[in-house]
């Protein structure tokens, strides 16, 4: 059908795939300048050395030998090297994220005392977790506007596609395909593609999920201010119910024991204004929590999936606020004391509190989106009492999540002492 040496373009691939093949097409083609073990090692080390915090952790844990060995094991799978080569050319940012997630998976595997085979599975799953993106319409991948429901379903399918590819690679551990399938799942059931809950998730899947979550924080949110993985710990602390405590604890221990230095972003002369803004944002956060509790009390008693996810999200927010102490009188007084006495040694703590407040606002917006799905669910509507009141509360929550105060609300309505009592319950 096709002469040997012919480049496989889309039209030729379709022609070949219309016929029954003795073996998969990818087993019958070669790629020039393939990313073999040596090239993968070179690209990984170049990436690690370009980021000071990664370099410090890498050297502290003496990971050179492990990384070299894992790159050699990676080359055992021709389809994997082929896919990673194409990924590096077609989706270089996804390839870069794969390098980070593969590396961080080694870090966490070492901290969690994985054996050699488990570490290999974690490394390969982290490295190749976005391989399914190669099979998504490029126009969808390039889109910057909000996805349509059909486009969002297509994007979500990349986890299932990756799972299918790796499940059929000869000799590949099922741990890899399972972890790739789970890398967007969350323990509270809010992830995709299957919305699994905690008890159904594998340990390697959780590691890759945390690595995937951390990448945009470290390389997008922190891109311009020089913050490190250590500075991301306050954010991950609030996300830890998503990824399990042992995975979070391993990451925190590595970062805190690697001599990384926290980065101060706010200039000293602007710190008073910065703390005042945090203090002003706290009552709004408390109002949002109060609204969430009121919403939770009004939701129908039903075990439908959308409702279970909404309850998990709202409960997680209240739990995070309680454990973090963000709404405590003690934190408020401490912030005022640092501000009034210009205690520069504690300005870094003020910035950590700000990062946690931002993360809580993100979680509130996430809960708001889920609650909108609940309120628009026709079946659940039948069991809702006072739907209008619930709709009003959900609208209020959406505004509070954006830092806006609903017209009918006043921050004087909130008593921080009362909030402590409410969260205690």
404-413 tens-digit pLDDT: 888 888 766 6
- Average the pLDDT over 300-304 and give the result: 78
**What is the structure's pLDDT at 179?**
97
**What is the structure's pLDDT at 39?**
97
Measured CA to CA, the distance from residue 414 to residue 289 in angstroms comes to: 10
Q: Which residues contact 46 (CB under 8 A, 6 or more apart)?
A: none
**What is the structure's pLDDT at 407?**
86
21 vs 142, more confident: 142
State the average pLDDT for the chain.
88
**What is the structure's pLDDT at 328?**
84
What is the pLDDT confidence band of residue 198, given thresholds at 50, 70 and 90?
confident
- 267 Cα distance to chain centroid: 29
**What is the structure's pLDDT at 22?**
63
**What is the structure's pLDDT at 243?**
65
What is the pLDDT confidence band of residue 238, given thresholds at 50, 70 and 90?
confident
Closest by Cα among 287, 272, 395 to 336 = 272
**What is the structure's pLDDT at 421?**
56
**Residue 380 and residue 374 in contact, taking contact as beta carbons nearer than 8 Å:** yes
**What is the structure's pLDDT at 403?**
85
Please check the confidence at residue 423 and state whether its pLDDT lies above 60: no
**What is the structure's pLDDT at 115?**
97
- Average the pLDDT over 156-181 and give the result: 95
**What is the structure's pLDDT at 84?**
96
What is the pLDDT confidence band of residue 415, given thresholds at 50, 70 and 90?
low
* SS3 of residue 384 by DSSP: coil
**What is the structure's pLDDT at 408?**
83
- Average the pLDDT over 98-115 and give the result: 97
**What is the structure's pLDDT at 420?**
53
Q: Which residues contact 315 (CB under 8 A, 6 or more apart)?
A: 296
CA–CA distances in Å: residue 51 to residues 138, 238, 402: 29, 25, 32
CA–CA distances in Å: residue 63 to residues 53, 58, 99, 204: 14, 5, 14, 19
Q: How far apart are the first and last CA of the chain?
A: 72
Please check the confidence at residue 45 and state whether its pLDDT lies above 80: yes
**What is the structure's pLDDT at 66?**
96
Please check the confidence at residue 189 and state whether its pLDDT lies above 80: no
- 355 Cα distance to chain centroid: 16
105 vs 283, more confident: 105
- 418 Cα distance to chain centroid: 33
Please check the confidence at residue 144 and state whether its pLDDT lies above 60: yes
Least confident stretch, 68-72, 102-106, 354-358, 376-380: 376-380
**What is the structure's pLDDT at 27?**
64
- Average the pLDDT over 240-266 and give the result: 86
- 8 Cα distance to chain centroid: 36
- Average the pLDDT over 105-116 and give the result: 96
**What is the structure's pLDDT at 376?**
81
**What is the structure's pLDDT at 419?**
54
**What is the structure's pLDDT at 23?**
64
Residues of the chain with CATH 1.10.3210.10: 35-256
**What is the structure's pLDDT at 8?**
78
**What is the structure's pLDDT at 311?**
86
User: Taken in order 327, 328, 329, 331, is the CA torsion positive or negative?
Assistant: negative
**What is the structure's pLDDT at 59?**
96
Percent residues over pLDDT 70 in the chain: 93
Q: Which CATH class is domain 35-256?
A: mainly alpha
In our burial notation (b when 16+ CB lie closer than 10 A, e otherwise), range 30-41 reads eeeebbbbebbb
- Average the pLDDT over 126-150 and give the result: 90
Name the burial class of residue 184, with classes exposed (0-12), middle (13-18) and buried (19+) by CB atoms within 10 angstroms of its CB. Answer: buried
């Amino acid at each position: 059908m096709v002469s040997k040496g012919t480049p496989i373009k889309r039209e030729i691939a379709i022609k070949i795939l219309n016929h029954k093949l003795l073996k998969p097409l990818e087993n019958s083609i070669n790629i020039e300048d393939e990313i073999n073990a040596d090239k993968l090692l070179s690209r990984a080390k170049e990436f690690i050395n370009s980021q000071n915090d990664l370099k410090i952790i890498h050297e502290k844990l003496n990971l050179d030998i492990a990384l070299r060995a894992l790159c050699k094991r990676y080359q055992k799978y021709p389809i994997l090297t082929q896919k990673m080569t194409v990924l590096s050319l077609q989706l270089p940012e996804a390839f870069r994220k794969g390098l980070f997630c593969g590396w961080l998976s080694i870090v966490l595997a070492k901290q969690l005392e994985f054996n050699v085979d488990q570490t290999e599975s974690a490394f390969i799953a982290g490295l190749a977790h976005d391989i399914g993106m190669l099979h998504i319409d490029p126009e969808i991948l390039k889109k910057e506007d909000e996805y349509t429901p059909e486009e969002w379903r297509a994007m979500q399918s990349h986890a299932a596609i990756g799972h299918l590819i790796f499940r059929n690679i000869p000799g590949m551990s099922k741990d890899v395909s399972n972890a790739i399938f789970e890398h967007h799942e969350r323990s509270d059931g809010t992830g995709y593609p299957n919305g699994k809950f905690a008890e159904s998730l594998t340990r390697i899947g959780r590691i890759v999920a945390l690595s995937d979550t951390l990448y945009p924080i470290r390389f997008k949110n922190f891109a311009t201010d020089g913050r490190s993985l250590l500075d991301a710990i306050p954010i991950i602390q609030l996300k830890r119910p998503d990824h399990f405590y042992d995975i979070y604890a391993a990451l925190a221990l590595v970062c805190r024991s690697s001599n990384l230095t926290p980065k101060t972003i706010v200039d000293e002369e602007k710190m008073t204004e910065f703390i005042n803004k945090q203090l002003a944002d706290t009552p709004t956060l408390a109002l949002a929590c109060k609204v969430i509790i009121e919403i939770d009390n009004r939701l129908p008693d039903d075990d439908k999936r959308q409702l279970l996810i909404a309850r998990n999200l709202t409960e997680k927010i209240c739990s995070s606020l309680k454990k973090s102490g963000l709404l405590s009188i003690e934190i408020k007084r401490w912030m005022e004391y640092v501000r009034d006495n210009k205690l520069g040694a504690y300005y870094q703590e003020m910035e950590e509190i700000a990062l946690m407040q931002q993360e809580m606002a993100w979680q509130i917006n996430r809960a708001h989106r889920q609650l909108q799905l609940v309120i628009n669910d026709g079946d659940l509507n039948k069991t809702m009492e006072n739907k209008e009141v619930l709709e009003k509360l959900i609208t209020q929550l959406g505004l509070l999540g954006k830092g806006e105060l609903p017209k009918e609300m006043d921050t004087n309505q909130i008593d921080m002492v009362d909030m402590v009592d409410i969260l205690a319950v």
